[in-house]
A and B are shown apart, each in its own frame.
Chain A
Amino acid sequence: MADLPEYLGQHVLISALALAIGMALSLPLAVLAARSRMLRWPVLTVASVIQTIPSLALLALFYPVLLAVAYVTERALGLSFSALGFLPTIIALTLYSMLPILRNTVTGILNVDPAMTEAARGLGMRPRQVLFRVELPLALPVIIAGIRTATVWVVGIATLSTPVGQASLGNYIFAGLHMENWISVLFGCAVAAALAIVLDQLIGLMQSAAANRSSMRAFAAAIGLVLVIGGGLSPLVVCGRAGGARREVVVGAKTFAEQYVLAAVVRDRLADAGIEATTREGLGSTVVFRALAGNEIDCYVDYSGTIWVNYMGREDIADAQTVLREVTAWLKHEHGIVCLGALGFENAYALAMRRERAEALGVRTIAGLAAHTPTMQIGGSYEFFGRPEWPTIRDAYGLRFAGRRQYQSTFMYKAVQNADVDVIAAFSSDGRITAYDLVVLEDPSNAIPPYDAVLLLSPKAAKMPRLAETLRPLIGAVPIDLMREANHMVGRDENKRTVDEAARWLLRQIHGTAP
């Protein structure tokens, strides 16, 4: 709740800016398209096609595009800009706002009664005068209707800015989704919806003012809009945060609970040492890595196996120490990223079963499991079965499951508890492993790559002397049962804790003292 002014302010900022740019582009373009049949079809079609691209994809698409552009402009012109967050969001939202405005403006102009344009021409108005004195005023209600539609769309889609690193009301929604905190999701949705409705009604008032030629209503609508937009933006102005230079340390986090907790831990640790820090959660996996490499965030926790497989492209498996060593070296060499070290636990794929079942069958390792698999069902996420790890494990141990079921992670744990499946492909640091009394089967052949949680610093952050020192005590300080417990606190339904509470608890355990 404390973040509401910030999130709301950012949301209003990106929506208002995108709409303003969208209008500035669409209105002249629409006038040209209304005049020229040749131009009309391509313009409207391109805008329609853009609309069909899923909003999240469009936002995400601009991030690598802008990275490439930023690379080029830096080399060629020495100008650097941030490809994360603000810019891709604004570009995507602007493109989205264009179709309704374009289409309505073209339709509005084309539907002006021909008698009006005949009279205007007959009286001796030049084409520009016909446009500004007759056509646009008469088309105005329809044009404003288009702006109204665009506004509601943009305010809604702006919630998707979170994964590309732009703060908005979507932060509540994504955090809620990742942490299964439905109140947070509803809150984010409700505020975004309220904002959209208020703006919609105010613009509707403006539309009615245009239709009735009532300057009173227009004035009222204008005042309302100024108040809402100004009010929304004021916290940003007061804090000087809209596009100002960053003074705090930014800790990134991916999209699952563990990441939110660890980011909060890092932030609190820094705060304890007097270093101001803030978190940016909900970032896509590749987004957060690139953001670190590009100094747009200062640090975050990743996993050695993720870097090994996804970024280094390694297909071989090695033991944990070797992987850690080579990952550290590669990060420094290729990206200037400093890996401070392993936190002390792994978040790897793990085959887990109910403890009683495992003990009854005398199974401790995946090798031991193999013989029993023909009579067993395995459950896992869609993503897991699509990853290279799955065939690797399966072939390494000769697992031949009778059947396989795909689940959302919440249901997966319930399924193994109810014996609907016998084994699940879980994450080793998931709190539910302890909570549901599951046991993780060992991997003697090292078929599963190691996924040590590692704390990474951006090239710029690595040069800040106090940062590394302050964070070093976290290295090796987080054993797996501690992480599971913290994750469970945040994930469970009864007595659910907030991320901040879980982080404080974890930090206390690490220090062994009260903060």
Chain B
Amino acid sequence: MIRLHHVSKSYDGGRTLAVRNLTLGVERGELMVLLGESGCGKTTTLKMINRLIESTAGRIEVDGQNVRDHDPVLLRRGIGYVFQRIGLFPHMTVAQNVAIVPRLQGWTRPQIEERVRELLDMVDMPPAEFADRMPRRLSGGQQQRVGVARALAVRPKIMLMDEPFGALDPITRASLQDQYRRIHDRLGLTSVMVTHDMTEALLMASRIAVLSSGRLLQVGAPRDLLTAPADAYVRQLMQTPKQQADRLEALVEETEP
């Protein structure tokens, strides 16, 4: 569904590379997580898919077509984009925020209204209560749910998410992780998600791609990364969630009679 072939990105004319010769494929229906430390190039990689950032070298294909052959604006309308800072427009209501891309695409009023209702229901935000609210009167979790609804408005097949739950508290985050995985499965989406939270990656991903310093270190299912890390860095990365899982298990066993 999404193919990156030898993709590179440099911000300084080639002296340093934020993304180095990356080759990666995302299959239809997958939830691919790009995992790594700050500065490893995962966000840059994500943003090259919808051309918010232009690649310096290499080829990116979406659904078989080189993204450079598309008008970037139309490309982005067909791909959902959700990011950490949420970016709901404060001068518009929830409904108006969700309706943005349908309006850009020229849908009729009744079509838009119905779609907005449908989406708000999908993210568990009853339209009667929330449609006319202003973003400043929503909690962080509610705002990001609207953000997801907004991104799904014109039924994109691909969702790009850049640390979407990073600004939320752990309880809300866990809830939204579950919710999104369910939506992803139900709608048959292909999602690419950037995170530096290992647990989140392990719990949500179909496959995880580990990046470091712009390079792809390993890509595989969560179990594979845990049991067969490709190199020391990946092994160390997986240590923390592993240890935490062990300690949690020990805690649970302790409390059983």
Contact at A119–B73, with CB atoms within 8 Å?
Answer: no
Which residue of B50, B77, B83, B104 contacts A119 across the interface (Cβ within 8 Å)?
B83
Q: Looking at the complex, which one of B87, B91, B101 makes contact with A115 (CB distance below 8 Å)? A: B87
Q: Are A123 and B77 in contact, with the CB atoms below 8 A?
A: yes
**Cβ-neighbour of A129 out of B89, B91, B104 (below 8 A):** B104
Residue of B whose beta carbon sits closest to that of A213? B91
Q: B119 an interface residue at 8 Å Cβ cutoff?
A: no
In the bound complex, CA of A43 to CA of B122 (Å): 49
Contacting pair A116 B76 (CB below 8 A): no
List A contacts of B77 (CB < 8 A). Answer: 123-124
Give the distance to chain A from B108, nearest Cβ to Cβ, in Å: 19
CB neighbours of A223 from chain B (8 A): none
Chain B residues within 8 Å of A116, by CB:
87, 89
Asked if B100 is at the interface of the complex by the 8 Å CB criterion, the answer is yes
Q: Which residues of A contact B150 (CB under 8 A)?
A: 123
Contact in complex: A134, B76 (CB < 8 Å): no
Q: Is A121 an interface residue (CB 8 A)?
A: yes
Contacts of A213 in B (CB 8 A): 91, 134
Query: Known: A121-B76, A123-B76, A123-B101. Contact between A134 and B52, CB under 8 A?
Result: no
Q: Does A75 contact B (CB under 8 A)?
A: no
A465 at interface by CB-CB < 8 Å: no
Question: CB < 8 Å: which of A118, A123, A138 contacts B100?
Answer: A123
Q: In whole Å, how far is B21's beta carbon from the nearest beta carbon of chain A?
A: 26
The answer to whether B73 and A124 touch across the interface, beta carbons within 8 angstroms, is yes
A125 within 8 A of B: yes
Chain B residues lying within 8 Å of A123, measured Cβ to Cβ, are 76-77, 81, 100-101, 104, 150-151
A119 engages B91 (CB within 8 Å): no
A336 within 8 A of B: no
Q: Does A126 contact B (CB under 8 A)?
A: yes
Asked if B85 is an interface residue, CB under 8 A from chain A, the answer is yes
B90 within 8 Å of A by Cβ? Answer: yes
B73–A125 CB distance below 8 A? yes
Q: Does A137 contact B (CB under 8 A)?
A: yes
Distance between B216 CB and nearest chain A CB, rounded to angstroms = 24
Residues of A within 8 A of B85 (CB): 115, 118-119
Which of A115, A124, A137, A138 meets B76, CB within 8 Å? A124
Residues of B contacting A120 in the complex (Cβ-Cβ under 8 angstroms): 87, 89
- The count of A-to-B residue pairs whose CB atoms sit within 8 angstroms is 55
A326 to B245, CA, bound (A): 111
Does the CB pair A122–B90 fall under 8 Å? no
Residue of B74, B78, B81, B151 most packed against chain A (CB within 10 A) = B81
What 0/1 pattern do residues 42 to 72 of B give for CB contact below 8 A with A?
0000000010100000000000000000000
Would you list which residues of chain A between 103 and 127 have a CB under 8 Å from chain B?
115-116, 118-126
Q: Which of B88, B104, B134 contacts A124 (CB 8 A)?
A: B104
* Cβ distance B72 to chain A, nearest Cβ, rounded Å: 9
Q: Which of A187-224 contact B (CB under 8 A)?
A: 213
Within 8 Å CB of B104, what residues of A?
Answer: 123-125, 129
Q: How many residues of B contact A (CB 8 A)?
A: 23
Whether A119 pairs with B101 at a CB distance below 8 angstroms is no
Please tell me if B86 contacts chain A, counting CB pairs below 8 Å: yes
Rounded to whole Å, the gap between the CB of A200 and the closest CB of chain B is 24
CB closest residue in chain B, given A137: B91
The answer to whether B86 and A122 touch across the interface, beta carbons within 8 angstroms, is no
User: Smallest CB–CB gap between B164 and chain A, Å?
Assistant: 12
* Residue of B with least CB distance to A119: B87
Q: Which of A136-163 contact B (CB under 8 A)?
A: 137-138
Q: How far is the CB of A136 from chain B (nearest CB, A)?
A: 10
Q: Is the CB of B89 within 8 A of A124?
A: no
Nearest Cβ on chain A to B150's Cβ, whole angstroms: 7
**Chain A residues near B88 (CB, 8 Å)?**
119
Q: Among B74, B75, B87, B151, which residue has its beta carbon within 8 angstroms of that of A118?
A: B87
Among A115, A122, A126, contact of B50 (Cβ-Cβ < 8 Å) = A122
B156 and chain A: residue at smallest CB distance? A124
A213 to B85, CA, bound (A): 22
Nearest CB of A to B172, in Å: 19
Closest CB of chain A to B135's CB: distance in Å?
11
Taken together as a complex, chains A and B put the C-alpha atoms of A137 and B97 apart, in Å, by 14
Chain B positions within 8 Å of A118 at CB level:
52, 83, 85, 87
Q: Which of B52, B87, B104, B151 has the most CB of A within 10 A?
A: B87
Question: In whole angstroms, how far apart are the Cα atoms of A118 and B47 in the complex?
Answer: 11
* Contact A124–B87 (Cβ < 8 Å): no
Q: Which residue of A lies closest to B47 (CB)?
A: A122
Nearest CB in chain A: distance from B166 CB, A:
13
Chain A residue at minimum C-beta to C-beta distance from B101: A123
A141 to chain B minimum Cβ distance, whole angstroms, is 10
Nearest CB in chain A to that of B78: its residue: A124
B91: chain A residues at CB < 8 Å are 137-138, 213
**How far, in angstroms, from A109 to B192 measured CA to CA in the complex?**
32
Return the chain B residue nearest A115 by Cβ: B85
Q: Are A122 and B73 in contact (CB under 8 A)?
A: no
| CB of B116 to closest CB in A, whole Å | 15
**What separation, in Å, do the CA atoms of A374 and B87 have in the docked complex?**
85
Which chain A positions have C-beta within 8 A of B74? Answer: 124
Give the complex CA separation of A119 and B76 in angstroms: 11
Q: Which residues of A contact B50 (CB under 8 A)?
A: 122
Inter-chain contact A122/B89, CB cutoff 8 Å: no
A383 to B90, CA, bound (A): 62
CA distance A126 to B100 in the complex (A): 12
**Interface core residue of B75, B83, B89 (most chain A CB under 10 Å):** B89
Query: How far apart sit A123 and B160, CA to CA, in the bound complex (Å)?
Result: 11
- Contact (Cβ within 8 A) A134 B89: yes
In the bound complex, CA of A399 to CA of B151 (Å): 92
Interchain CA distance A124-B75 in the complex, whole Å: 8
Chain B residues with CB under 8 A of A126: 73
The residues of A that contact B73 with a CB separation of less than 8 Å are: 124-126
- Bound-state CA distance A513–B88 (Å) is 84
Residue of B nearest to A124 (CB): B77
Contact at B52–A119, with CB atoms within 8 Å? no
A134 to B91 CA separation, bound complex (whole angstroms)? 8
Q: How far is the CB of B71 from chain A (nearest CB, A)?
A: 9
- Chain B residues positioned under 8 Å from A121 (CB to CB): 52, 76
Note all chain A residues with C-beta closer than 8 A to B75. 124
Show 15 residue pairs from A and B whose CB-CB distance is below 8 angstroms, ordered by the A residue. A118-B83, A118-B87, A119-B86, A119-B87, A119-B88, A120-B89, A122-B52, A122-B76, A123-B81, A123-B101, A123-B151, A124-B75, A124-B77, A125-B104, A213-B134
Contacts beyond the supplied A118-B87, A119-B83, A129-B104: 8 A-B pairs with Cβ under 8 Å: A115-B87, A119-B81, A119-B85, A121-B52, A125-B73, A125-B104, A213-B91, A213-B134
- Give me the interface of A with B, judged by CB distance under 8 Å: 115-116, 118-126, 129, 134, 137-138, 213
Counting from the closest, the 3 A-B pairs by CB-CB distance are A119-B87, A124-B77, A122-B81
